[in-house]
Chain A
Amino acid sequence: MSQVVTPTATAPVARTPRRDIGLKKRYAAERRFRAYGIAALSFGLIFLFVLLWSVVSKGYTAFQQTGVTLAVEFSEKIIDPQNQRASNPQVLLTANYPVMARNALANALGVAQNDRAKQKELGQMLSDGVRSQLRDMVVADPSIIGTTKTVTLLAAGDIDSAFKGQINLSVPQENRKVSDQQVGWMNKLAEAGALAKHFNTGIFFNGASSRAEASGVGVALIGSFYMMLIVLVLSLPIGVAASIYLEEFAPKNRFTDLIEVNINNLAAVPSIVYGLLGLAVFINFMGLPRSASLVGGFVLTLMTLPTIIIATRAALKAVPPSIRAAALGLGASKMQTIFHHVLPLAMPGILTGTIIGLAHALGETAPLLLIGMVAFVANFPTTPMDPSTALPVQIYMWANEAERAFVERTSGAIIILLLFLIVMNVGAILLRRRFERRW
């Protein structure tokens, strides 16, 4: 028997002639189309990097601050010439501390006390912040009056910018904020080691100040912290409760439908509308104080709720019905099934959604402007009822300042904000990875 199958008797057919189906042109179109896609994608990614780079390159210097280390004489003649501080403590508060600092600088540079023009320029080299810095030292310990101490004082914003090389010194000196004389002094001090850059703790802890070099996001951080706390405490339980009701209990009727549509729409309402709501309801109607982080927290809670509800419902939906059936089959009530089995299993998803919602709330600016958080707050708020500001609002306020030094501060504050957001989002991703379940 032959293993080779003999061909059947069909006559050999000639090869079909090749048709021209325009392959060349069609492949050119294919390549073009693909190139558009790559171009679009890279355009988006390039702008992500340009944006981040522009912020970081402008802002990383904000974490260093130029300081001048000087031997300051706490001269009694300047602080308290009539020697009445025992009877009137006010004297210590109102003394002319900047003069003390200027004198110290003059000594270090060997400028004569009677050269008024030069003295003025010298004074401009130090920040106005030296007043409170020296005052606080004296008030804390009046016994230092009459002694000489080595103190590191803040340099003025313009000197800081010049020392960081951000001011173009080839411009004629009338057109720039630092004179050649000041640059000369600056270099001399730097050579002597008196003037140097230090890590800038002030940007994290100081409150608002009209001087760039003395201002920081301290108040804003506290305000944002209070608000995040309020958002978390309110929106997580309310959001989870609402989701449980909608996902597990709600009958399928028109009211439930209405809530559904409502939540989807609320998630897309412009944030500024929430600001108007907060202003009209919380401040105007309920009489809560303006600029308080409490009101900010309420507004952001309302704004975050839809996000959390949508995420929570998705997480609840992902828990397979077999788990519910198993618990119900053992005689657990519906409530027990949900709280003992479904909710714990959905928790990672819920928390991930919550963190992402919080991150959004942390970066939100517009509604806070309307409830008066655009405020110049120099004192730390001790309760959520005190006037305060928020990190993104602080950025907005600084962005409106014209000075070069404030651009640096703004970028610095943005870096701080972005770092918080990165930490939160990475946390959310890790949480998801760690607890992700595949059913």
Chain B
Amino acid sequence: MTTSTLLLITAAIAMIGYLAGSRRALALAGGRSSSMHSRPGYYGSFVAIWSALPAALLLGVWLIAAPAIINSSIRGEFPAEVKAQSQASQGLSFGMIEGIARGMRALSAEEAAQAERNPADLRNLMAARGVAIAGDPEAYMIKAANDLNSMNARSDLLRNVAVLLVAVGGAALAYRLIAPRFRARNRVESVILASLVVASSIAILTTVGIIASMLTEATHFFARVPAHEFFFGTVWDPRFAAAGATASEGQFGLIPLLLGTLYIGFVAMLFAVPIGLFAAIYMSEYASQRVRSITKPLLEVLAGIPTIVYGFFALTTVGPFLRDISSQIHGLATGDYSNFIQAQSVLTAGFVMGIMLIPYVSSLSDDIITAVPRALRDGSLGLGATRSETIKRVVLPAALPGIVGAILMTASRAIGETMIVVLAAGVAARIQLNPFEPMTTVTVKIVSQLTGDLEFTSPQTLVAFALGITLFIITLCLNIYALYIVRKYREQYE
């Protein structure tokens, strides 16, 4: 019986429990539903919850605990010389045993017997059945595989019986509790409330998960590479060690990546902030209702376009355009038609990212500018100030804290942006100031370290988590500070 069939049967029991519970409630009421505390459906639901919930919990615990227990008991049976090997190679052996166990189930009884007598045949036998095994199995592995199979079978059987017993037992217990004065609705509602609480704690769990998982992996990294070399290193060169060679693991300096990230983010903000701010000012202070109702959603379309599309745009349109135009300019000036802007460059990535950020700046500042009370505007206009004087000298200074908050939020987006820089910024990690040359960012390196074959023990892979937690902390600080500023700003005018 598979897990899903088991779940189906449990659900069926709960369903029957629901019907039986409602029936009994109706029967007890004897036609006068007011003599019961709750409507019959609540009694039914009560029975159903008592049958399904404990059973599902048990099943969940079993699914997590059983493989771990079986795993450790199989490993406990490993021959001494295998136990002496490293954890990683023990893991490999266990993986192979699992493969053999899968294969054994596919073999017929006599083939299995033959394999046990002669392990060397096993690989061929299994290949004939379409099961591939990584290496030549050793003798102890076949026994372990058989053990594994029988333990799994026993565990499954036990699990099925236990889960079904709990389901039926829970239903029976709840059924017996049904009585006129029994407050089924309150019980059911408290279960619902509990599930609401569980749902909202998922937000907390996600944060905890992010921090815990990244911290764990990053600690593994810092065990191999000293933290100061990572945080203050100026060279990024994580050489993938050749097979067998463990000597050179390369250098993992964060500085060039961080500088690239900040530089590209800065260029992006250079485009996005003035444009977004002026667009917001125009839309909130000058534009007629009609113009506003058209331009505002259009501008927000820019925010709805996936970043991969911007990346592609940068790669195929903006980059080549800047490269060609730079070679034209250079040619006109000196006669030498060589380009001084690379197709992948800080400028390309920053410019396209700037376009992407325009709607963030404009819609955030629009909200903030419109929150400035009308009385202030009237006060200034009433003194004979022009509109632009009112905006420059009264509205903007009043809105400044909020706008700073909006800009910080946008900056955190710029720093965490991935797809545009992956496609348009280049991969060369270097420290330089020319915006026409490629630089790389933290996010680009996270992607490049984690695509391809992974090995969770090498610093080349683990460094991605150290980069990730750095990124997470920077953006978190920016966001918390920005949220704090904006919240204070809003309170001022409420």
Contacts and interface: CB of A to CB of B under 8 A. Distances in A.
A209 interface: no
B480 A365 contact: no
A242 B275 contact: no
Interface in A329-379: 333, 335, 359-360, 362-366, 369-370, 372, 374
A13 interface: no
Chain B binding surface SS class: helix
Nearest to B313: A51
Interface string A304-335: 01100100000000000000000000000101
Nearest to B206: A302
Interface stretch (A25-33, A195-203, A430-438): A25-33
Nearest to A339: B192
Contacts of A140: none
Interface in B96-142: none
B468 A276 contact: yes
A333 B295 contact: no
Contacts of B422: 366, 396
B204 A259 contact: yes
B269 to A, nearest CB: 14
Q: Size band of the A side of the interface? A: 35 or more
A249 B194 CA distance: 11
B358 A44 contact: yes
B419 A269 contact: no
Contacts of A273: 210, 214, 416, 468, 471-472
Given A30-B386, A44-B358, A306-B203, A245 B197 contact: yes
Interface size class on chain B is 35 or more
A265 B479 contact: yes
Contact of B203 (A259, A270, A272, A333): A259
B475 A258 contact: no
Among A27, A335, A411, max chain B CB count under 10 A is at: A335
B278 A39 contact: yes
A40 B279 contact: yes
A43 interface: yes
A399 B423 contact: yes
Interface string B189-211: 10011011111111110110110
A271 B443 CA distance: 10
Interface of A: 21, 26-27, 29-30, 32-34, 36-41, 43-45, 47-48, 50-51, 54-55, 58, 237-239, 241-246, 249-250, 258-259, 261-266, 268-277, 279-281, 284-285, 302, 305-306, 309, 333, 335, 359-360, 362-366, 369-370, 372, 374, 392, 395-396, 399-400, 407, 410-411, 414, 417-418, 421, 425
20 contacts: A34-B286, A44-B275, A44-B276, A44-B302, A48-B301, A237-B199, A245-B196, A250-B200, A265-B207, A268-B475, A270-B415, A270-B417, A273-B416, A273-B471, A276-B213, A276-B465, A277-B210, A277-B213, A366-B418, A369-B451
Can you list the 5 inter-chain pairs with the closest CB atoms, starting with the nearest?
Answer: A270-B416, A363-B306, A37-B282, A40-B278, A241-B199
